[in-house]
């Protein structure tokens, strides 16, 4: 077995051919200049903050740097510089303001306000028939369906929008 410096190793196979085993996260971390401690800090943060700060989702979580890593690498492992956002919508919308080349300087404030608004939203049962799901992302679903409706294929029935 030949060690490749933390990135992976070469192991002999049954047929005598060497197989390269690569730790993809270590490779990417080294490629982007991440600290070797980043994966542990990320895991600890998700364990301590197991839901999205904006929508409350508990699946597909990302750890977002409030002050981006490329702006201040010294804050990469600082717990006060991290916030948990879901990878489905909130990381892109709240963390990057819908542009991956940008970042939101007020991400904590914006996530807190949205979470409070969502938690205390008004509701009338007689209009909708039943309460919305607790972890509903109705706003995001509406936005994405609104911007993608011209590209949908319709079956020819009454599902075509008016106009």
Residue 156 lies in a domain: no
Does 134 score more than 60 pLDDT? no
Does 63 score more than 50 pLDDT? yes
Based on the fold, state whether residues 55 and 117 are members of the same structural domain: yes
Based on the fold, state whether residues 21 and 53 are members of the same structural domain: no
The residue with tokens 């717990």 is: 79
Residue 29 lies in a domain: yes
Based on the fold, state whether residues 20 and 67 are members of the same structural domain: no
pLDDT class of 163 with cuts at 50, 70, 90: very low
Based on the fold, state whether residues 85 and 116 are members of the same structural domain: yes
Q: Which of 2-11, 55-64, 91-100 has the lowest mean pLDDT?
A: 2-11
Q: Which of 31-35, 46-50, 143-147 has the lowest mean pLDDT?
A: 143-147
**How many domains does the structure of the chain reveal?**
2
pLDDT class of 106 with cuts at 50, 70, 90: very high
Does 98 score more than 90 pLDDT? yes
Based on the fold, state whether residues 61 and 94 are members of the same structural domain: yes
Residue 148 lies in a domain: no
What number is the average pLDDT over the span 93-105?
94
- Give the structural domain span for 106: 43-122
Residue 136 lies in a domain: no
Strand partners, 12: 18
Give the Å distances, CA to CA, from 107 to 14, 34, 157. 52, 22, 43
Based on the fold, state whether residues 17 and 54 are members of the same structural domain: no
Pick from 44, 43, 41, 61: nearest CA to 52: 61
Based on the fold, state whether residues 116 and 58 are members of the same structural domain: yes
Does 43 score more than 70 pLDDT? yes
Residue 159 lies in a domain: no
Based on the fold, state whether residues 53 and 22 are members of the same structural domain: no
Give the Å distances, CA to CA, from 15 to 8, 10, 20, 26, 155. 20, 14, 14, 28, 55
Based on the fold, state whether residues 28 and 50 are members of the same structural domain: no
pLDDT at residue number 97 = 94
Based on the fold, state whether residues 78 and 21 are members of the same structural domain: no
CB 35 within 8 A of CB 28: no
Based on the fold, state whether residues 26 and 97 are members of the same structural domain: no
């Amino acid at each position: 077995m030949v060690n490749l410096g933390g990135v992976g190793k070469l192991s002999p196979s049954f047929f005598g051919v060497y197989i390269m085993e690569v730790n993809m996260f270590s490779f990417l971390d080294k490629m982007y200049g991440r600290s070797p401690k980043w994966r542990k800090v990320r895991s600890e943060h998700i364990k301590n903050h197991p839901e999205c700060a904006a929508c409350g989702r508990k699946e597909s979580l990302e750890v977002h740097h409030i002050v981006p890593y490329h702006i201040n690498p010294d804050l990469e492992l600082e717990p006060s510089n991290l916030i948990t956002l879901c990878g489905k919508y909130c990381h892109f919308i709240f963390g990057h303001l819908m542009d991956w080349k940008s970042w939101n300087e007020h991400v904590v404030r914006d996530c807190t306000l949205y979470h409070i608004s969502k938690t205390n939203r008004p509701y009338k049962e007689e209009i909708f028939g039943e309460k919305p799901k607790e972890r509903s992302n109705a706003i995001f679903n509406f936005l994405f369906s609104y911007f993608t409706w011209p590209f949908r294929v319709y079956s020819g029935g009454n599902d075509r929008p008016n106009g």
